[in-house]
Structure 1
Amino acid sequence: MKKLIFGLIPWWMFAVAAALFASVTAEMVEDHLTLRAIVERTLREGPPPVADLADVPLRGSSQLMEMHVQGQLRPDVGVLNYMDANRGHQFVLLDDPNATVVLALAAPNAEAADMITEIVDRASRDGTVTVQGLRTFDGVESALHSVRTAGVPKSVILMHPFRGSREDALKAHLFDDMMAPVISGIMTVVLGLLAVWKFRRWRRRRAVRRAAQVPQNARETPQGKSFPSPRPAPPPRTGQGGSPWASGVATTSATFADPEPARPTPNTFESVFPGGGSGFRFKSADEIIRETFGTVSTLERSKDAKPDD
């Protein structure tokens, strides 16, 4: 499970979840601030006047509906049960012959016995009792099913009677309402931190993959380009007598070899004419005679010479 959450889920999914939780948290905070304003105004105005059960509207119209109702207990029905979204509750019915609804005085299972005892102790001999509390709509369908099963053909209004003082009960209700946006805000922060952590981890992995794709003989420049690293020159090998091949031990050198000078290309052209030269060169007659017979003085000396007898 840990591998699935932290290994397979990408960072952007955590970011999307954090954004969704942030939106829900903002709405919850706005609703809580509205409820806080209503509670503060309700505490300043004091409790509402006592109303008969027949005058209580079936549908609510306020985020905080404080009720102060008088009616008669129904001991013949006894204690009933219902479930809301989180836990089970127990309740007793408060009825009025002129009303088309019954009032279910409910409390969680762990607190129901004490609540029912307090209600019964406050009731008169004919079962008439005045109760004060907050109306709720959570689990009303389940409570209606229990009432119809018990043989009471009326609609149901759910109320949680105050336990203790009115001010303490309203502040406790405000505190319970604050828990939802707090938990949602914590989830938003956790998901946001996970998204940042996963994003940084993803960037590091991507950098490692890109570095692995660069050739070993290349390195990054500040401009992002790469070029081959210079190769070191082969180390000189010297030995006895200064011979470069006398020693077979190579030593490393951190210097680079100087480039060798360009060698001239040998001329492979051979002239077929006397004295060399290009075949396309025109020579004068004097040059040809001198190259063939010699100079004029040579010729005169050859004329003066006597033939051998």
Structure 2
Amino acid sequence: MSDITMIDAAAARLAGHARRTPLLTSPFLDEIAGRPVYVKAECLQHTGSFKFRGAWNAVSALKPAGVLAYSSGNHAQGVALAAKLHGIPAVIVMPADSPAIKLANTRALGAEVITYDRATVDRDALGAKIASERGLTLIKPFDMAEVIAGQGTTGLEIAEQAAEAGVTVAEVLVPCGGGGLTSGIALALAARARGMVVRPCEPEGFDDVARSQAAGQRLRNERLSGSICDAIITPETGDLTWPLLRDLCGPGLVVSEDEALRAMALAHDRLKIVLEPGGAVALAAALFRPGTGPVIAVASGGNVDRAMMARALAT
């Protein structure tokens, strides 16, 4: 199980390799939200998302001869780059309907890409089979202690940057699929910024975390595809992430696809950053859901096709 000691160790491994992404503000966003809004721009991280943190930490800590990962694209790129920089091979199992830019970027980073139909194929079973046959170490997208710890370094930075801005009490909204980033940030802030409350953010129709929190037990998503927020579409949370989401986080927030697109456009216009739909759901919740006091929204990824960005800008 990940803890603050593992997150501190991950920060040491990531030093000089990951970017310390900025905490951005805009008076225009404050006006829309009716409160101070801070945006943690992980879309500016290597490979365009926070996933590089967990991938680098896992590869650095485990020192495998080769790695396998399954991902819709952001974890894929993070693992592909981490493997390339460590000089080891990477095989990535990706849904066939992943955005073209994510498939292309993963291949460009030197990984072998194997696609599958996410509606009919059990990706975990497929990934485990390939890893066993080829002698590869599986780097899970979220339910892995080293990955959670790596993502938790985002929380360490939020605590430091918020304190520099004079913010010690805030809601911290995080895009949530399997829960690796959300639970890692929650662990970090529980240790370093106790005045902050982490709230998972999900798209409508894929809100298993919010429903699980309300029910007091882990629930699955009925659908496994059909959302533009591909980066955070997972069947359910993990064995490691669910207890952390249950015990450390406030109630989840759910936004519509239209709200995610509007948040993408506002991030482009007011912060000059590019977000993908799944990476924009926390900003959407910060802007379009009521709240009081400062709010910190994690902009978790920016790997978006041009057509989708054009759709957002036209919203």
**TM-score past 0.5 threshold:** no
More helix per residue: 1 or 2?
2
Q: Which has the higher contact order (CA 8 A, sep 6+)?
A: 2
TM-score by length of structure 1 reads: 0.20
TM-score by length of structure 2 reads: 0.20
